[in-house]
Amino acid sequence: MNDWIAVHVVDFFNRINLIYGTVSEYCDSASCPTMSGGVRFEYLWADGEKYKKPAALPAPQYVALLMDWIEAQINNEAVFPVSTDVPFPKTFVPLCRKILTRLFRVFVHVYIHHFDRIVAIGAEAHVNTCYKHFYYFVTEFDLINSKELEPLAEMTAKVCKDSISPTQNTAPSSNQGR
């Protein structure tokens, strides 16, 4: 299971980094003075080293720090082992939850603040497909707290029409087939 999560974390990191790269020239300290998803959601940066206390940062700085931090985690063989005979650390899944939660925030920012640019370059279908893959993966394996998913709930309902919310009962009723 950890191998499956590791492969997807690396893939999502690469894909979301590319998606952000398509809008990065339009995301600067003036247009995006905070890392946010609309007015209701502001994301603070903390890495436990340089930023011990959560700090409000312009979106481009937040994303740059995030991508550098994730890359350092992925390249750390004690965390993401490259050899099959080296076990994953006990902290692996919690760390992946943190990575994926933070990557989701990039989706939030791009969808809410820069989606017009995504549409203008004809990348809407690609970004939506990447988002669906990400969403289905993190919900299937319970890797992001449902509260974190709220900023894109309405959009997710449209893009992932066939999805079932985690609170819905998926068991067949006893009256089925009668």
pLDDT in tens, 85-124: 999 999 999 999 999 999 999 999 999 999 999 999 999 9
- Model confidence over 78-94: pLDDT tens digits? 999 999 899 999 999 99
- Model confidence over 32-47: pLDDT tens digits? 999 999 899 999 999 9
Question: What's the pTM?
Answer: 0.88
Domain extents for the chain?
A: 1-160
pLDDT exceeds cutoff 70 at 66: yes
Query: What is the CB-side half-sphere exposure of residue 50 using CA atoms within 13 A?
Result: 6
Q: Exposure pattern of 136-159 as b/e (b: 16+ CB <10 Å)?
A: ebbbebebbeeebbebbeebbeeb
Average pLDDT over every residue of 55-73: 98
Maximum CA pair distance of the chain?
63
pLDDT exceeds cutoff 60 at 173: no
The domain made up of 1-160 is a member of CATH 1.20.140.30: yes
Q: For the chain, give the mean pLDDT.
A: 91
pLDDT at 35: 98
DSSP 8-state symbol, 88: P
Binding-site residues from annotation for Zn(2+): 27, 32, 109, 114
Binding-site residues from annotation: 27, 32, 109, 114
Q: In this structure, what token pair is assigned to residue 17?
A: 């980094």
How many C-beta neighbours within 10 Å does residue 166 have? 11
Taking CB atoms within 8 Å and a gap of at least 24, the contacts of 119-126 are 121/22, 123/19, 123/22
Residue 85 CA to residue 132 CA, distance in Å, equals 33
